[in-house]
Amino acid sequence: MLPKFGTGLDVEKLLALSRIAETAERYEDMCEFTSRLVVERCNKKEELSVEERNLLSVAFKNVIGSKRASWRTLNAESANVDTNILEKYKNCVEGELKAKCKEVLKLLEDHLLLLYKGKESESEVFYLKMCADYYRYLAEFCNDDSYPQKAEKMYSDAMTVAKQSLNETHPTRLGLALNYSVCYYEILKEPDKACNLAKEAFDGAISKLDTLNDSSYKDSTLIMQLLRDNLTLWTSDTAEEENEEN
């Protein structure tokens, strides 16, 4: 990566570089370019376009997603490996993952959430959800009670805005419900709340299915399927646990 490459460029050139970096699958560079773009926009009190917002999301999702996958692999590894060496290596990956999460959270909290605060828009929901997602990722491996609490609060704030400004079938609202319910199930260990939230979102979207337009139909129905899949899995797990207790 060339961290100083593109210094001093305007928003349009940073946008062009972000597109090129995505095409080349240079996601670390893409994080750098989109971060600068965000700071430039926010300093001028300019909102991001949908494309710019999506480029930012894709950049950090790919970098952090790769590191999360590595961490899960190392966390599951045990056979024929020196425990001390494995633990040190895992700590190294955790350090990288934590630093990258903190990087995007600083961008979100110091710039984007301030720009969109109180606007009750789809973008405000998007950035609150994004912030909650990265606190959830930190909660997966950090022994810090503040991360689950911050994730839950951000998801809750996003859901409040979503219910006021987005219909039940909107992909952003459905995606929020999906990730919020996962947080309840995997991080907060509250399966009943996870199932209730997922069911409420799914049932609400089903009741308004005839209002879906062509542009969002595919995204919305895909997320609805994921909600239903999780519900099936979670209710099955709960039933098995109850049977074991009996």
pLDDT at 245: 55
Average pLDDT over residues 194-200: 97
Give the closest residue to 203 by CA, choosing from 155, 168, 229: 168
In angstroms, the Cα distances linking 106 to 145, 169, 230 are 19, 30, 31
Q: Residue 211: how many CA atoms within 13 Å on its side-chain side?
A: 11
* Residues 129/158, Cβ–Cβ less than 8 Å: yes
Q: With cut-offs at 50, 70 and 90, classify the pLDDT of residue 178.
A: very high
* Residues 43/2, Cβ–Cβ less than 8 Å: no
- Which tens digit of pLDDT belongs to each residue from 116-168? 998 889 999 999 999 999 999 999 999 999 999 999 999 999 999 999 999 99
Long-range contacts of 239-244 (CB under 8 A, 24+ apart): none
- Which tens digit of pLDDT belongs to each residue from 97-118? 999 999 999 999 999 999 999 8
- Chain mean position to CA 67: 14
Average pLDDT over residues 34-38: 96
* Residues 188/195, Cβ–Cβ less than 8 Å: no
Asked if residue 92 has pLDDT above 80, the reply is: yes
Instruction: Tell me the whole-structure pTM to 2 decimals.
Output: 0.90
Asked if residue 79 has pLDDT above 80, the reply is: no
* Residues 194/149, Cβ–Cβ less than 8 Å: no
Asked if residue 246 has pLDDT above 50, the reply is: no
Q: Residue 164: how many CA atoms within 13 Å on its side-chain side?
A: 12
Asked if residue 4 has pLDDT above 70, the reply is: no
DSSP-derived secondary structure for 206-232: HHTGGG--HHHHHHHHHHHHHHHHHHH
pLDDT at 1: 44
Across the chain, mean pLDDT equals: 91
Asked if residue 237 has pLDDT above 80, the reply is: no
All structural domains of the chain, each given as residue ranges with its CATH number in brackets, are: 1-116 (1.20.190.20), 120-239 (1.20.190.20)
